[in-house]
Amino acid sequence: MKTRTYIILFLTAFLFVTGCEKKPEKKVKQITKQEKKMPSPSPAEISTDNTIAKTDDVKKGPFDFIKMDNPAYKKHKKGIIVLSHRKHSDDYKISCGECHHDEKGIPLNNINLNDKVQGCIECHQKPGERPKGKGAPKLSKKERLEYHAEAIHYNCKDCHKKHNKKTGTKKAPTSCNKCHKKK
């Protein structure tokens, strides 16, 4: 009996020292097909002023990622969105005018990928969202669109909702945490 106990102790110690003990399983995040296809942006591919860079500004070719980080905001309350411009224009076949418009809201369908465009903040100059809650003023849509975040949310969320309704899916994100990843 003593021999058996010593053998078990010896084997346990041997396995522990050599690293053959059973290690706890690591939880691995499942990567979707879409995430596999989408490369992580390099710093050279991200514009920080919400404009589309010209081809020569980015070594890899047409601008791919837009980091929605605007200096007009002193502090961001939510995670910064990194928009894949190429996915939207090339893969999803969204025309320029579906996102980019003039001061009257008329789509800019005559722009090209390499054209420099104004950032949203140039016209929608109030950083953040409109005042909300009890006592907040009732604003018209035009007044709400003066707020930068409101304009972006109207543009993106409305398009995503239309896409989801059209396709009968929920692939295009419409909730805060789906676009604004945690910091």
Distance between CA 99 and CA 121 in Å, rounded?
Answer: 14
Joined tokens for residue 156: 């993106």
Amino acid at 167: T
**Is the sign of the CA dihedral 181, 128, 44, 65 positive or negative?**
positive
Query: Tokens 């579906």 belong to which residue?
Result: 98
Instruction: From first to last of the 183 residues of the chain, give the pLDDT tens digit.
Output: 555 555 555 555 555 545 544 444 444 334 344 444 444 444 444 444 444 333 333 334 445 788 888 888 888 888 999 888 888 988 888 988 999 998 888 999 998 877 888 889 999 999 999 999 999 999 999 999 999 999 999 999 999 999 999 999 999 999 998 998 876
Write out the E strands in the chain: 46-47, 65-67, 82-84
Q: Is-above-0.85 flag for pTM?
A: no
The correct answer on CATH 3.90.10.10 for the domain covering 32-179 is: yes
